[in-house]
Structure 1
Amino acid sequence: MVKIWDLPTRIFHWVLVSLFVFLIYSGNWDDSFMKWHFYSGYLLSGLILFRVLWGIVGTYYARFCSFVVSPIKGLTYLKSMFKGNSTHFYGHNPAGAMMVVMLILLLMLQVASGLVTSDEVLWDGPFYASVSDELASLGAEIHHKVQLILQCLVGLHILGVVAHSVLFKEKLVASMITGNKKDLGNAKPRGSINPVALLMCVAVSVAWVYYLFGLPI
């Protein structure tokens, strides 16, 4: 086995999964959790901020430069995968990379729109009173539509993981838990975690979340 996913990346992934599930539940099916919906959104924004920073200064497979490719390459990889002749990737494959980038961008948009919207009953986003009615209305519309897109993309992501696991007998879920994948002899070294870089990423993200929690809703 070879080390691929570092611990910060794995923690990010599973905390993101937990927050996403709770946010969908609290935003759609149980209004009594609306206050915690806002607070979970704050945590999500800090989590995304951490991932963006870690994608710059993290270990090799966590860095965006190691997996971000053009959409054309992602679509080409999908075609080759279903033909059974795709190339093996230790980190994110091109299709997975496309999904990661889309999810991060849409989650950023979802967080931003949530900060300026209101549930029109008890709770307002922390910046709701600071924007015009038109912008708040646009934010609410974006917030509603993007969440539907995110749910569809997450569903596709799960299907992609299942398909990849079946076609290539690769335990992707297990690798995101252990951080290890089967070594085929040509993996690039993951490198070690820079503790100073990690501390700075965590500090910036925590500071942002702390700021949000201090705002009235």
Structure 2
Amino acid sequence: MAKGVKVWDGFIRFFHWATVLLLAALWWTAEQGQMDRHQDLAMVLLALIITRIGWGIVGSDSSRFSRFVRSPIAAIKHLASLKQRPFHYEPTHNAAGAWFVMLILALLLVQLISGLFATDEILFSGPLSGMVSGALASDLTSWHKLNFNIILAVVGLHVVAIIIYRLLGARLAEGMIHGRLPIAAESAPQLRSGWWPFISAAALAAALLYWVN
């Protein structure tokens, strides 16, 4: 068993930690009533999400949805195998982790899209709030607030899961820092290098920021 085989490319690691920081910043700006800054940060996150979805189609092997999204039965089998030793690392998200990835991406998209229509009916309105009725905008605003609490709960479960994996001897979180996991060299995924996902995300963020401002 080889140690330290590269599994995660630079964009995936950047996306992971940037999302963590942006969620924290979005919560803070909303709590402080800094809605213009909140909206700008949301556009940056939306650009990252869209780029991540694109990277999930054409990116590195370990990043592609087609490579790691498996059936719910596979996820159950993975969880059942956790009692086995040593822990079996995979060259991408495991079957259970894959469903978390899809869930959090879906929740983030719902959050960001609903925010485009949200309004406090006083000082701030999302850029698309005028395209729907006041009643629907109010409903979407309520969902926007509720969905963020759901996101926090799912993120909390993710942190708990990472802690449990660590107690079982699996250093999954560290892989998102240096990109390496202890898998067999012959299992190493083909990674795509280059700056284009970073450039794409930056260009898309700039376009979205120009649109809302």
Q: TM-score, normalised by structure 2?
A: 0.89
- How much has 1:22 moved relative to structure 2? 1.1
Equivalent pairs, count:
209
Distance, in Å, in 1 between the alignment partners of 2:177 and 2:130 is 42
Distance, in Å, in 1 between the alignment partners of 2:9 and 2:158 is 21
Distance, in Å, in 1 between the alignment partners of 2:189 and 2:97 is 20
Say if 2:151 is the partner of 1:150: yes
**2:22/2:45 contact within 8 Å kept:** yes
SS at match of 2:117: coil
Amino acid at match of 1:104: L
Residue 181 of structure 1 is matched in structure 2 by: 181
Say if 2:59 is the partner of 1:63: no
| Same amino acid, percent of matched pairs | 33
- How much has 1:120 moved relative to structure 2? 3.1
Residue 28 of structure 2 is matched in structure 1 by: 25
Q: Deviations over 1:92-145 (max 9, x none)?
A: 111111100000011001100000001333221111112222321221122111
Instruction: Give unmatched runs, 5+ long, in structure 2.
Output: none
Return 174-183 or 104-113, whichever deviates more.
Answer: 174-183
Distance, in Å, in 2 between the alignment partners of 1:57 and 1:140 is 34
Distance, in Å, in 2 between the alignment partners of 1:119 and 1:208 is 27
Say if 2:166 is the partner of 1:165: yes
Alignment of 1:36-55 (within 5 A): 36-55=37-56
SS at match of 1:160: helix
Distance, in Å, in 1 between the alignment partners of 2:172 and 2:139 is 38
- How much has 1:172 moved relative to structure 2? 1.8
**2:116/2:128 contact within 8 Å kept:** yes
Distance, in Å, in 2 between the alignment partners of 1:13 and 1:131 is 33
Distance, in Å, in 2 between the alignment partners of 1:151 and 1:101 is 15
Say if 2:3 is the partner of 1:5: no
**1:106/1:150 contact within 8 Å kept:** yes
Amino acid at match of 1:67: F
Change (3 A) 1:185 1:204: closer
Distance, in Å, in 2 between the alignment partners of 1:72 and 1:144 is 33
Alignment of 1:190-201 (within 5 A): 190-193=190-193, 195=194, 199=196, 201=197
Distance, in Å, in 2 between the alignment partners of 1:84 and 1:149 is 32
Return 53-62 or 181-190, whichever deviates more.
Answer: 181-190
- How much has 1:207 moved relative to structure 2? 4.2
Distance, in Å, in 2 between the alignment partners of 1:213 and 1:188 is 38
SS at match of 1:97: helix
Change (3 A) 1:208 1:138: farther
**1:3/1:190 contact within 8 Å kept:** no
Q: TM-score, normalised by structure 1?
A: 0.87
Distance, in Å, in 2 between the alignment partners of 1:148 and 1:75 is 26
Greater length-normalized contact order (CA 8 Å, ≥ 6 residues apart): 2
Distance, in Å, in 2 between the alignment partners of 1:113 and 1:140 is 7
Runs (4 or more) in structure 1 with deviation over 6 Å come to none
